[in-house]
Structure 1
Amino acid sequence: MTLQSIGLSTGGRDRAPQWEHYLKGDPALLNSEFGDILDRDAVRLDIRTDDQVAYEALHHPDPMVREQSLYQAMDRRLTGTIDLIAESIASDENREVRWNALWALEKIGGPRALQVIERHIDDDDADVGEWARLFSSELRTGVPAFDNRSFTWDGDRTFDETILLNIHCDVYVALDETGRNWGKISLSPQGLARSYGQAHACPNVDTRNQKLIISKTLSGLHDDGSPHTENFVFRGLTNHANAGRGSFYFESRGLRPVFLSGRADDDSLGHRNEMVAAKRSGEWTLDPQIQIKGESAIRYVRGRVHTWGYVNFDTMAGSSLEEVLFPGNSILGTLDTPTGPLANAFIVGTFKGKLVDWDGDGKINVNSLDIYSTLDGDVDSDQDGVADIPGVQFCPRTNWMN
């Protein structure tokens, strides 16, 4: 496959590397992040025009496409992006589009973005307002701030907390085997959730410093309406040098199928069962006003994630956004295999998640979200705390484990 075959050009790809930090210090520290290096030269695979992106950010009927368009405008650094995002926050009817648009403004930063963020601290939607308060505080002080709402907690559920993670990821796809040509797909939180699945952090008070379940649910994949579930057991260490905050580094490695079609649960081209890994690091913030089993709850978490993906690019080339971002059309991959790598995409992203009022009663829901996992990460489709099949952490629908 060549760039020309999919209607893209190499641009300035043959230029010599440019060093931009000659007065800032050691390049081993400042110029070794693989995602940053790829971002300089990767071609953008979203084929829409700038005018299309701006129009669909406000007018597309699908909230995922509206949000994805806002993040695409940010990635392209379009003129008027802050004004476009501001209009979206003020007018969009989808609360997740609104708070992820606020996050986009935090990513842009600067006085104008901060001004727009702070307009919404007293928003009619308390969680949009709290996200605005949180982003404003992070930009001004580096630490989050919260409101003082009361909370609800269910002691009979498997996990002490269930935190929906908003994840903004850049997927860098190797377009050929030369290592010279890369494409970039930038996914907003809802874009990632639509194609890869919605991730939830599920900490328990007694194990959260060393172990965490990330449970991923993908809606719309199964014809019978049942959710596709993938669970990941992360283990690592947490630093508590700062009171009320925990800085962590966790890794996950587990057996799961890699479907050669590049689509979850699509065994039309076969699959290989491989060990798939991911890494996440960051910081969580406790809220002493929310006490769970005698300990302060994690109110908010932020950080970075790195992993590998497998993309069957032949099924995506020249497709529209809606044709690419459908449930299951993106899967994780691996390089850790003796029979040859099953990864052609490097995935790097940032995540933020906080406790939210999901049922609209004015109280924060600490652990109300549906999580199809046991304490050990096995799939638990009826949420009774017992594994459907012991040791299986990936949806068994295709009978991949036999």
Structure 2
Amino acid sequence: MAIDLCNKSPGSLAEQDPGSWDEAVESPVLLEDLGTDQRERLNFAYRTTLSSVDPRFVAGDPAAWSSDFGYALDKVAIRLDNRSNEELRRAALSHPDPAMREQALYEYADRDHRDAIELLRDAVRNDPNREVRWDALWAIEKLGGPQAITTLREFLSDSDPEIAEWSKLFISELQTGDPAFDARAGLYTPGRTFDESIYLLIHCDLYVRLDASNTHWGKISLAPQGLARIYGQAHACPNVATRERQLVIAKTISGLHEDGSPHCDNYLFRGFTDRTRRDRGNFFFESLVPRTFFRSGHADDPSAGVTQANIGFARYGTWHLEPKFQVHEEAAIRYVRGRFQGWGYVNLANIAGKSLEEVLTPGNGVLSTLHHPEVGPMTNAFILGTFKGKLNDWDGDGVIDLNSRDVYSTVDGEIDSNQDGVADEAGRTCCDYTNLLP
């Protein structure tokens, strides 16, 4: 979350030049020049935006705005990525691994340097990996301000429609609080388990307790591709009939199994959704799933022993509907955004003295819980962050794909390796590591 806080503290707002809004606002007009209908729409947009104002900067009860645990930790945690700024800039533009280029970009942005947006712009312009490009656009939005908007505008006509649409979406969010999309048509594929499979971008800050005194904390700001490499690439998988009360987050980790098969790790979430507006849903969902906890701190590595535990996670946010995309006579979800939080275990011996390339490896970190007599005392990481996901055109035919992504889950989160809607093994929601033992 720290990138999102950059340039937004009272000190930053007072001391730094935020830049001019003249270039960030198209054709500015005076309020008195607006018509009655325009004034009403502007007032509605203003009141809507107030709901997303950071409460830490609004007078009121400190219990409501000064109790953010992640915000408190971010002020005291030391960076576990100790590369110099020059090393980060070099890695961001020239590292051969796209996930490492992206990780350097996010770490540099998280340090809040004045030229961060300029470095991110260079990556969007020149990086050959489209995910690095759209994740860099997201980092630009996180930094915010007039410079972010003018930079995002440079990519509105990008040759990659996804880059152009992400730019349009981020600009709209910064200006109005709501997303905006292009006019492409959508394609729904009948007969699949889920009505939609939405590819998620996830950025998180991992705060690690470094000793039992609770006075020393470390921090890693994980960019989307780095997080996906360790914990798995996630897809949000809703069905129209049940999306207001449950959905599956289907994750796959590539490169963990020696045979090349994806490591499947599915989470069934349940919760409440507010539908007082027809064009969106505000939700708060929780998941509680049985998992094998690897005491080594590395997924599928039982060398230090294993324990069975129930792992909980929370996610909350908003999904936005697209009336043009109809599924079972209902508007499909075109975009989702929100926050999440949970607990983890980081084996400090697995990362001490190692390069980031050695740390950001498949499975090198496990989710955890405090509610278990053995696992609880080992839990040392607080995980929180933000996620965004929109429907994309994955095959390049100019049409947005609603549910074409391969996800290995039943509607109840059970492993379904052949995607026929039937569980490989009733009740199993994560790959069984014992099948991989020699």
TM-score (ref. length: structure 1): 0.93
Give how far 1:22 is off: 9.3
Give how far 1:77 is off: 1.2
CA 314–21 in structure 1, closer or farther in 2 if over 3 Å, else same? same
Matching residue of 1:17:
none
Q: In 1, distance between residues paired with 2:176 and 2:113?
A: 28
Of the three residues 82, 90, 94, the one matched with 2:129 is 94
Matching residue of 1:7:
none
Q: In 2, distance between residues paired with 1:32 and 1:351?
A: 22
Matching residue of 1:203:
238
Give how far 1:23 is off: 7.6
Q: Does 1:370 align with 2:409?
A: no
Q: In 2, distance between residues paired with 1:22 and 1:300?
A: 28
Q: In 1, distance between residues paired with 2:94 and 2:206?
A: 26
Q: In 2, distance between residues paired with 1:66 and 1:78?
A: 17
Of the three residues 321, 326, 329, the one matched with 1:291 is 326
Please tell me whether the aligned partners of residues 47 and 318 of structure 1 are also in contact (alpha carbons under 8 angstroms): no
CA 23–370 in structure 1, closer or farther in 2 if over 3 Å, else same? closer
CA 109–262 in structure 1, closer or farther in 2 if over 3 Å, else same? same
Give how far 1:382 is off: 1.3
Q: In 2, distance between residues paired with 1:22 and 1:334?
A: 32
Of the three residues 180, 191, 198, the one matched with 1:156 is 191
Of the three residues 383, 387, 399, the one matched with 1:347 is 383
Q: In 1, distance between residues paired with 2:267 and 2:58?
A: 42
Matching residue of 1:309:
344
CA 338–95 in structure 1, closer or farther in 2 if over 3 Å, else same? same
- Supply the AA of the counterpart residue of 1:51: E
Matched-pair identity in %: 54
Give how far 1:151 is off: 1.8
Of the three residues 381, 385, 388, the one matched with 2:417 is 381
- CA-to-partner distance for each residue in 1:177-201, whole Å, 9 max, x for gaps? 1111010010000010011110110
Matching residue of 2:22:
none
Please tell me whether the aligned partners of residues 50 and 78 of structure 1 are also in contact (alpha carbons under 8 angstroms): no
Of the three residues 208, 219, 241, the one matched with 1:173 is 208
Q: In 2, distance between residues paired with 1:322 and 1:111?
A: 34
Matching residue of 1:81:
116
Q: In 2, distance between residues paired with 1:388 and 1:269?
A: 28
- Supply the AA of the counterpart residue of 2:431: C
Please tell me whether the aligned partners of residues 250 and 264 of structure 2 are also in contact (alpha carbons under 8 angstroms): yes
Of the three residues 119, 139, 142, the one matched with 1:107 is 142
- CA-to-partner distance for each residue in 1:38-85, whole Å, 9 max, x for gaps? 000000000211110011111111110111111001111123111100
Give how far 1:25 is off: 2.3
Of the three residues 411, 416, 427, the one matched with 1:391 is 427
- Supply the AA of the counterpart residue of 1:26: D
Q: Secondary structure at the match of 1:165?
A: strand
Q: Which ranges of structure 2 fall in alignment gaps of 5 or more residues?
A: 1-54
Q: In 2, distance between residues paired with 1:399 and 1:280?
A: 31
Q: Does 1:320 align with 2:355?
A: yes
Matching residue of 1:8:
none
Give how far 1:399 is off: 5.3
Matching residue of 2:81:
46
- Supply the AA of the counterpart residue of 2:268: V
Q: In 1, distance between residues paired with 2:158 and 2:277?
A: 31
Q: In 2, distance between residues paired with 1:62 and 1:354?
A: 25
Matching residue of 1:255:
290
Residues 21-40 of structure 1 aligned to structure 2 (within 5 Å): 24-40=59-75
Q: In 1, distance between residues paired with 2:431 and 2:314?
A: 21
TM-score (ref. length: structure 2): 0.85
Please tell me whether the aligned partners of residues 56 and 69 of structure 1 are also in contact (alpha carbons under 8 angstroms): yes
Q: In 1, distance between residues paired with 2:420 and 2:205?
A: 36
CA 187–206 in structure 1, closer or farther in 2 if over 3 Å, else same? same
Q: Does 1:360 align with 2:396?
A: yes
Q: Secondary structure at the match of 2:247?
A: strand
CA 124–396 in structure 1, closer or farther in 2 if over 3 Å, else same? same
Q: In 2, distance between residues paired with 1:398 and 1:344?
A: 26
Give how far 1:315 is off: 1.2
Give how far 1:118 is off: 1.2
